[in-house]
Amino acid sequence: MFLFVKLQKHWQPKTLRQARAAARLFFVDHLARADWQVFAQIRAKDHDTLPAVLTRQQVHALLAAIRLRRYRTPIKLIYVCGLRLSECLGLTIHDIAAREHKLFIRGGKGRRDRVVPLPASMVLELRDYWSFHRHPLLLFPNVGRGDRQPRALAARMRTATGPMPHSSLQRLLIVARKQLNLPAVSIHSLRHSFATHLLEAGAHLHTIQQLLGHKQITTTMIYLHLTHQSTQDALRLMDALCRGLPR
């Protein structure tokens, strides 16, 4: 079974490890098959793959292609602040400190809180978006089904009991990037793009670590492999080292 899902279904290492743990729990712990050693022989090591990243021009084109504001605004916020999808859609009106230009991310990965800067233009855009639906708590309430006229749409959003589902933005991004013939990227790729573009602009690696909410700096260091700017800087230095050496 494990060979089938790995070779035919192309499951990722993390999914294989979860399946192995579930199978071991059932057969060894519940059925008392303590003599089964097959689970110890199954290995699923993570691949050393770099995350997909869009250029700044591609991000601009992607956002321009998303015409509905209720989708474009959260996607833009994810890129501008380097948020995870769940962090963005779970935001409330209490998480925005407009005067201080700060955004509070509560209960992120690892149950860690953090604060990220919020650009002035994004503050205005979020304020304008909230003024449309005026939900008493949620920043991105669920739209639900029904009449798409602005008044009916706003009324449903105002009384929504939960945030916009993740699948709404995920499906939209797939459609948009296919229309633009962009690489096979996901919503999370916007977070990777945010970090890479900041690093290319000269931001310190430790600053990016704090903005992304990474516990270990080694997690953030992967973006060093993605920056075109750092490669060009290294190339200029190498050219300088070579200049004047004996031939």
CA distance 21 to 24: 5
Specify the 3-state DSSP secondary structure of 240: helix
Catalytic member of 17, 24, 33, 84? 84
Give residue 98's pLDDT.
92
Q: Residue 4: pLDDT band by 50, 70, 90 thresholds?
A: low
Task: Give the torsion through C-alpha atoms of 71, 64, 81, 203, to 10 deg.
Answer: 170
Kindly report the CATH number assigned to the domain that includes residue 216: 1.10.443.10
Who wins on pLDDT, 25 or 156? 156
- Residue 223 designated active-site: yes
Report pTM: 0.76
CA distance 181 to 58: 10
Query: Is residue 240 included in any domain, yes or no?
Result: no
Whether 30 and 62 share a structural domain? no
Whether 98 and 213 share a structural domain? yes
Nearest to 159 by CA among 183, 179, 133, 182: 133
Give residue 109's pLDDT.
79
Whether 32 and 60 share a structural domain? no
Catalytic member of 56, 94, 109, 127? 109
Q: What backbone torsions phi and psi does residue 104 show, to the nearest 5 degrees? A: -95, 125
Query: Is residue 196 included in any domain, yes or no?
Result: yes
Whether 112 and 209 share a structural domain? yes
Residues in the chain: 247
* pLDDT of 239 higher than 90: no
- Residue 106 designated active-site: no
How does the average pLDDT of the chain come out, rounded?
83
Whether 62 and 36 share a structural domain? no
The residue to which tokens 């250029």 are assigned? 55
Whether 33 and 107 share a structural domain? no
Which two three-digit tokens encode residue 110? 């690892």
Whether 133 and 222 share a structural domain? yes
What is the DSSP secondary structure assignment for residue 27, as one 8-state letter?
Answer: I
Query: Is residue 49 included in any domain, yes or no?
Result: no
pLDDT one-digit tens code per residue, 190-211:
999 999 999 888 888 899 999 9
Q: Residue 42: pLDDT band by 50, 70, 90 thresholds?
A: low
Whether 64 and 143 share a structural domain? yes
Query: Is residue 75 included in any domain, yes or no?
Result: yes
**Domain coverage including residue 208:** 56-229
**Residues in contact with 120: Cβ distance below 8 Å, sequence separation at least 6, in sequence order:** 101
- Residue 214 designated active-site: yes
Whether 87 and 190 share a structural domain? yes
Whether 34 and 91 share a structural domain? no
Catalytic member of 135, 191, 192, 197? 191
- Residue 188 designated active-site: yes
Query: Is residue 79 included in any domain, yes or no?
Result: yes
Q: Residue 7: pLDDT band by 50, 70, 90 thresholds?
A: low
Query: Is residue 170 included in any domain, yes or no?
Result: yes
Q: What are the distances in angstroms from CA 51 to CA 9, 40, 151, 219?
A: 21, 30, 41, 12
Q: How many separate domains does the chain show?
A: 2
Nearest to 126 by CA among 107, 103, 149: 103
pLDDT one-digit tens code per residue, 66-123:
999 999 999 999 999 999 999 999 999 999 999 999 999 988 777 789 999 999 999 9
* pLDDT of 22 higher than 80: no
Specify the 3-state DSSP secondary structure of 145: coil
Query: Is residue 14 included in any domain, yes or no?
Result: yes
* pLDDT of 231 higher than 80: no
- Residue 99 designated active-site: no
Whether 37 and 106 share a structural domain? no
Overall average pLDDT of the 152-160 stretch: 94
pLDDT one-digit tens code per residue, 124-143:
999 999 999 999 999 999 99
Whether 134 and 167 share a structural domain? yes
The one-letter amino acid at 89: L
